[in-house]
Amino acid sequence: MGWKLAISIVVVIVVWLGADLLVHHVLLGNEYEKDEHAKLMRPPKQINHTAYYVAVAASALCFVGIYALLAQPRTVAKGLMYGFLFGVAVGVPMAYGTFAYMKISHMMALGWLGGSLLRCVVGGLVVGLVLKSCPKTAETA
């Protein structure tokens, strides 16, 4: 299962980077440009891309690892449910915890929550498909 874990981690990283690009640049791009949000963000030259990629990779490693260790039997349906629950668990406090303390719009918080759910549900689909439990055959039983 080692190579399946590695494939899952890499695919989840790629999916999450793509989801972040879609959510933050395409869907929420105009929100980030508003004055009240622009002053909260680093200027493009000050963005620490290394820290971002390390954070995504560490999160993907934990996401895949938790599923691989705890989900039995591993199915696509379980992967999707895991992704949804993980997305709620990280998305609600991140989006609405930030909304409670910082002057961000409700649209921004909703976008962050939606982005978390998107990336985690698709990540759950990935782990559900790639790490799917093999049915026992007469030879392996």
> pLDDT tens for residues 29-38?
888 888 777 8
The whole-number pLDDT of residue 21 equals 94
Q: Are 119 and 19 in contact (CB under 8 A)?
A: yes
Does residue 136 lie in a domain region? no
Does residue 118 lie in a domain region? yes
Does residue 37 lie in a domain region? yes
Determine the structural domain holding residue 28 and report its residue range.
2-130
Distance CA 3, CA 141 (A): 23
Q: Are 124 and 83 in contact (CB under 8 A)?
A: yes
| Residue at 43: amino acid letter | P
pLDDT tier for residue 137 given thresholds of 50, 70 and 90:
very low
Name the domain count of the chain. Answer: 1
pTM for the whole structure = 0.87
